[in-house]
Structure 1
Amino acid sequence: MPQNDKELNLKLLGGKTQYVFEYNPDVLETFDNKHPDTDYWVKFNCPEFTSLCPITNQPDFATIYISYVPDKKLVESKSLKLYLFSYRNHGDFHENCIVTIMKDLIDKMDPKYIEVWGKFLPRGGISIDPYANWGKPGTRWEKIAEQRLAMHDMNPETVDNR
């Protein structure tokens, strides 16, 4: 059984962190799920996400919520942090950032289920909260994804702090 990050083939743990300042999904790393026979949730709360408006080049700030049910692979958290940081100088609309994050994680992990929700701070008096989800085709998670999307934000929280 692997005992350290070198045996796990994780390159980003330990040592000095090298930040990437342009969008780069190649920094994402995964490791084996020791419990693929058990369904469980993994949730990341990323309150310091930034990207750039593709029109004005002004910064956009958000909290990104990533929740998934792993299959054979999990995403390594430091690589996820560096991946999200790679959006720092990336110009894109909020909605596209969220869908791209979800698709990149699907490509790397092939989870049973995943959802990504961005809660962007307002600019011009409007906040945007894009949500995307996906369930593995041909499994019960495909139907769960349909249900969660249909019921998403049916009881929105009171927004009084942004």
Structure 2
Amino acid sequence: MSSIREAEQELTLLGGSTVYRQDYAPECLEVFTNKHQESDYWVRFHCPEFTSLCPITAQPDFATIYINYIPDVKMVESKSLKLYLFSFRSHGAFHEDCVNIIMKDLIRIMDPRYIEVLGDFTPRGGISILPYCVYGRPGTKYEALAEQRLANYPVR
């Protein structure tokens, strides 16, 4: 029971009223303590309703964002991630920029062992873009994993 109370103290968004931010808001992200730090395991988020704006035309861009990571001490809470991703809705950024911003913000708040972010953007003008970025903690086996995963970039 005490571990549930500890988690409640770490998180402020669960159970409260939801406020949707209208522009990029990395401060929405919340983390909680990983209870299985001794183990390597994957956490995968499939986010099929991502929206951002083209920074030149202000036209909406739609994507499915895939986030896969191997946690260390901290893990991202899913409601906060949802609100964070929603905050891109009125944010102007190219597709490649979006996935890199997402990855860097998650690294900053979680310091995972490994993380990868893939954006599967719907076609506009007959071209779809699938930017992919990876990070493995430097000097560890996760750095080698990131190099391997990037070399074998996932294709459909």
Which bin holds the TM-score, normalised by the shorter protein?
over 0.9
* Whole-Å separation in 2 of the counterparts to 1:13 and 1:55: 36
- 1:84-138 Cα deviation digits (max 9, x unpaired): 0000000000000000000000000000000000000010000000000000011
**Which portions of structure 1, spanning 4 or more consecutive aligned residues, are displaced by more than 4 angstroms?**
none
Query: Quick check: 1:5–1:11 contact (8 Å CA) kept in 2?
Result: no
- State how far apart, in whole Å, the 1-side matches of 2:135 and 2:37 are: 18
Matched residue type, 2:25:
N
Which of the two has greater helix per residue?
2
TM-score normalised to the size of structure 2?
Answer: 0.96
**Corresponding residue pairs, total:** 155
Aligned to 2:116: 115
* Structure 2 partner of 1:55: 56
Aligned identity (percent) is 64
Q: How does 1:126-145 map to 2 (within 5 A)?
A: 126-145=127-146
Q: 1:80 deviation in Å?
A: 0.2
Give the conservation status (yes or no) of the 8 Å contact 1:94–1:128: yes
Q: Deviations over 1:24-47 (max 9, x none)?
A: 111100000001110000000000
RMSD between superposed Cα atoms in Å: 1.2
* Residues 152, 6 of structure 1: alpha-carbon distance in 2 compared, 3 angstrom cutoff: closer
1:93 matched residue in structure 2: 94
Unmatched tracts of structure 1, length 5 or more: 158-162
Letter in 2 for 1:147: Q
Structure 2 segments unaligned to the other structure (5+ residues): none
Structure 1 residue 11: Cα displacement? 0.7
Residues 63 and 120, structure 2, Cα contact 8 Å, conserved in 1 = yes
Q: Which residue of 1 aligns with 2:76?
A: 75
